[in-house]
């Protein structure tokens, strides 16, 4: 398999109405299979969240990452994705999430660190265009002088690669600390201001509405990679994802896979 360029592919954009957290997990799974099978062109999917959530990495322990009482108190659903990486705290209006699903030829010959940096280059350029000085930090973070902006994760299967990123547009740092255990010890003696520095919202850095930040990002992808055609989920993709969400991603067995 020879390496391909971004411009070698006919990129599609899927940006739907808000969806439940478990359905987002299932959509990544299904779309990875569809691209691998050649039934779907490489796709940029911009997520809209229906509810607040904590999204754990595939290999994380539920009890180590999440305060279940805190999550229940705030009505926050806990889900587990198919990729690795760390836990993400999600609130619909405060988060920007996207997936890039492509043939693995796009990152052919790269190790994971190289692949993460490569897949995030367009985002760094988009942020620069918004006046945000940002850079990649191995293995899977995007940061700025004000603190971390985003975290990424990847999964590869049958010749396709899934790369998804969650960015902080705004953040309720107090609620985040009540729901996530990770980093709580580091922050407990420093207070909320330290949490805000550790995850720095794009709202404060750009002064732009969330929707405009997303549109600028999409336009950067389109310009840099030679096109991006607006698309939609095929009915069978959505149907399979709904079934997979119900039978796998909503189940306690999957969520507590590593208890």
Taking only the tens of pLDDT, the chain with its 259 residues reads: 799 999 999 999 999 999 999 999 999 999 999 999 999 999 999 999 999 999 999 999 999 999 999 999 999 999 999 999 999 999 999 999 999 999 999 999 999 999 999 999 999 999 999 999 999 999 999 999 988 999 999 999 999 999 999 999 999 988 999 999 965 544 444 444 444 446 778 999 999 999 999 999 999 999 999 999 999 999 999 999 999 999 999 999 999 999 9
248 contacts: CB under 8 Å, gap ≥ 6? 26, 254
Please answer whether residues 83 and 162 qualify as being in contact, where contact means their C-beta atoms are separated by less than 8 angstroms: yes
| C-alpha closest to that of 244 among 20, 19, 25 | 25
| C-alpha closest to that of 102 among 159, 144, 148 | 159
Whether the full predicted model's pTM is greater than 0.85, yes or no, is yes
Please answer whether residues 56 and 87 qualify as being in contact, where contact means their C-beta atoms are separated by less than 8 angstroms: yes
The residue with tokens 């909503």 is 250
């Amino acid at each position: 398999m020879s390496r391909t360029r971004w411009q070698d592919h006919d990129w599609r954009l899927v940006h739907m109405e808000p969806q439940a957290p478990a359905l987002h997990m299932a959509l990544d799974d299904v779309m990875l299979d569809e691209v691998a099978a050649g039934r779907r062109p490489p796709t940029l999917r911009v997520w809209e969240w229906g509810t607040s959530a904590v999204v754990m990495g595939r290999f994380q322990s539920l009890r180590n990452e999440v305060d279940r009482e805190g999550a229940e108190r705030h009505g926050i659903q806990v889900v587990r994705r198919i990729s690795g990486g760390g836990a993400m705290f999600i609130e619909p209006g405060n988060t920007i999430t996207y997936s890039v699903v492509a043939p693995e030829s796009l990152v052919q010959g790269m190790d994971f660190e190289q692949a993460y940096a490569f897949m995030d280059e367009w985002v760094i350029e988009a942020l620069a265009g918004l006046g945000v000085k940002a850079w990649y930090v191995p293995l899977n973070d995007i940061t700025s002088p004000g603190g971390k902006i985003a975290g990424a994760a990847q999964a590869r299967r049958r010749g396709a690669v899934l790369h998804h990123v969650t960015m902080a547009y705004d953040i309720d740092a107090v609620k985040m600390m009540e729901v996530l255990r990770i980093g709580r010890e580091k922050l407990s003696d420093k207070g909320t201001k330290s949490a805000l520095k550790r995850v720095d919202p794009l709202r404060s850095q750009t002064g732009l509405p969330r929707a405009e930040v997303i549109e600028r990002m999409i336009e950067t992808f389109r310009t840099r990679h030679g096109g991006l055609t607006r698309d939609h989920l095929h009915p069978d993709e959505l149907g399979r994802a709904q079934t997979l969400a119900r039978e796998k991603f909503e189940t306690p067995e999957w969520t507590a896979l590593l208890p």
